[in-house]
Amino acid sequence: MDNRLASLSSTTLLNGTPTPMALLSGTGEVIACSPAWEQRVGPPGLLLERVHEGDRGELSARMAAARAAAGSTSATARLVDARGKVTPMQWTLWRADDTALWAAVKPDREAWETQARILVDVFQTMDAVIWATDKEGVLRVSDGNGLAHFGIKPGQIVGMTMRDLYGEGSQVLELCRRVLAGETIRTDTVADGVHWIVHYAPHRGDDGEVDGVQTFGINLADHVTLAAQAELLRTCIDSMPIIIWAFDKDGICMVAQGGALAQVDAVERNGVGKHMLELCGSSPDVREAFQRALAGEIAHTEQVRQDRVWRTRFVPQKDVLGEIIGVGAISEDVTQQRRVEQQLREQLRLTQQQQESIARLSSPIIEVWQDVLIVPLIGSVDADRAAMVMESLLAAVVERQAAFAVLDLTGLDSVDTTTAQHLIKITNGLTLLGCRAVVTGIRPPVAQTMVGLGFDLSQVCTLRSLKEALRWCMSEARRGSSEARRGSGEARLGSGAARRG
């Protein structure tokens, strides 16, 4: 087998062709190859080991198809050289005998042209410069949008030498000499307000020898501005009583920043790398808020940790495509705020109690004598005050067994629909308890308003003054007593007659 394959690999053919060509065994091993193949692909060995792993299946299938075909078969597969450089290649395969194949390879021109177009588009939009020279310092490439900073158009200086451009003894020329000697150099310079990062690297031919200089420079002015803005933002955050957190989707902390870190323990101060539950608490509320943020919602929690109240806001973090990649959180120490709120609630409670006390004082219930109560109404009567007056007055009527209750409206500022309704409710409540309601002190404007509103007080005793009301109550009380005595006497007489009969 080896002798037969060797006979197929004509030494003259392989050594004489400038094309990278090789003879492959049935297992895909390179048995013999041309010098151009060895220079481009490498020394004899298994071909698929030199091919990118993502393309091995396709190339293996094409090799099998070529063994069964009468003509040649083409394939595209990426070649990986000893330095790890990946190059798109076009492979041509044809049958040598029942198992062996001839193979030829060349760069995939379409892929190279596509890459070249992409690179040109990139460099014509980026604020960057790319140029390359041969060993003699002649510019072969000059491109990039950044050339505008120097008043140069892409391709304008191609063909000129570095010596013509910079002059003998210049720093750039010295850098090029060092790169031609195999050195890779990075420079960082600021000129005319433009911050350039420039990478100089040797260009190597297929034989691995340095045959030129390739350079890439990018203007970092925008990046420097962003860095300054980021530093300013960090300084502001560190001076504020908050903590900024950033968690990945698994809850691992990637960022912990903020002035409030000084108020927490060492675990939280050194939170990067720790789980969210260690830093923000492990309660069900925190777990739920984190999951809601991962689902795209904004959630809030409030917890007491280490005698302090922390309010945390969880928000989803998205990439440029809108996919959720983690959760951001802002923790704020609201201990003082909650303390002030509690103080305000207590103050409000005391104020309400004081208002109720003032309202009671403004509507006192006075027992002028047995069975008669007087309630002077002063100011205005709203729903709360009316309810309080009714509650207090009805309770006093029951407690003191009062038969009369006088509502004195002399001090009432005004009467509107609401006030009149409250007065009617109070008198109705008194009637239900068997207590006769008397309304006094209705001034002309108040009377006019009540008539205009259509309120009927015909069932309520109304008198001009408190003095008349007291006389009326005394008169009604005496008449009631007389009737009671007369009724009692008649009852006794009737009882005596019955006994005599």
Residues 387-401 have pLDDT tens digits of: 888 888 999 999 999
Is the pLDDT score of 302 beyond 80? yes
State pLDDT tens for residues 433-467: 999 999 998 888 778 877 877 777 777 888 988 88
pLDDT digits (tens, 9 = 90+) for 106-147: 988 877 777 777 766 666 667 788 889 999 999 998 888 888
Q: 185: closest CA among 193, 195, 176?
A: 176
Judge if 95 and 120 occupy the same domain.
Answer: no
What's the total number of domains in the chain?
A: 4
pLDDT band at 10 (very low <50, low <70, confident <90, very high): low
77 domain residue, yes or no: yes
Q: Are residues 117 and 74 in the same domain?
A: no
Quick one: CA dihedral 147, 151, 156, 158, positive or negative? negative
CATH number, domain of 439, equals 3.30.750.24
Token reading at 468: 């008349």
Both 128 and 200 in a single domain? yes
**Same domain as 463, residue 372:** yes
Give the CATH number, domain containing residue 177. 3.30.450.20
Nearest alpha-carbon partner for 281 in 262, 247, 253, 305: 305
Indicate whether 432 belongs to any domain: yes
User: Would you tell me how many other CB atoms lie within 10 Å of the CB of residue 37?
Assistant: 23
Is 347 a domain residue? no
Residue 498 covered by a domain: no
Indicate if the pLDDT at residue 362 is higher than 70: no
Q: Judge whether residue 360 has pLDDT over 60.
A: no
Question: Mean of the pLDDT values across residues 229-245?
Answer: 77
Residue 236 lies in a domain: no
Q: Are residues 197 and 249 in the same domain?
A: no
- The one-letter code for the residue type at 43 is P
pLDDT at position 241: 82
* Residues 97 and 192 reside in one and the same domain: no
pLDDT in tens, 23-80: 999 899 998 889 889 888 888 899 999 999 999 999 999 999 998 888 889 999 999 9
Judged against a pLDDT cut of 60, whether residue 201 lies above it is answered with yes
Looking at the structure, tell me whether residues 103 and 119 fall in a common domain: no
- Choose the most confident range, by mean pLDDT, from 230-234, 238-242, 483-487: 238-242
Q: Which of 50, 74, 107 is the last residue of a domain?
A: 107
Q: Are strands 299-305 and 253-257 parallel, antiparallel or unpaired?
A: unpaired
Residues 462 and 368 grouped into a single domain? yes
Helix or strand holding residue 175 (H, E):
helix 171-180
Nearest alpha-carbon partner for 335 in 437, 256, 402, 241: 241
Q: Examine the pLDDT at 6 and tell me if it is beyond 60.
A: no
- What is the pTM for the complete model shown? 0.38
Whether the CB-CB separation of 112 and 203 falls below 8 Å is answered with no
Range of the domain at 70: 2-107
- Indicate whether 251 and 328 sit together in one domain: yes
Same domain, 192 and 136: yes
pLDDT at position 223: 60
In terms of pLDDT, which residue wins out, 422 or 248? 248
Is the same domain home to 179 and 264?
no
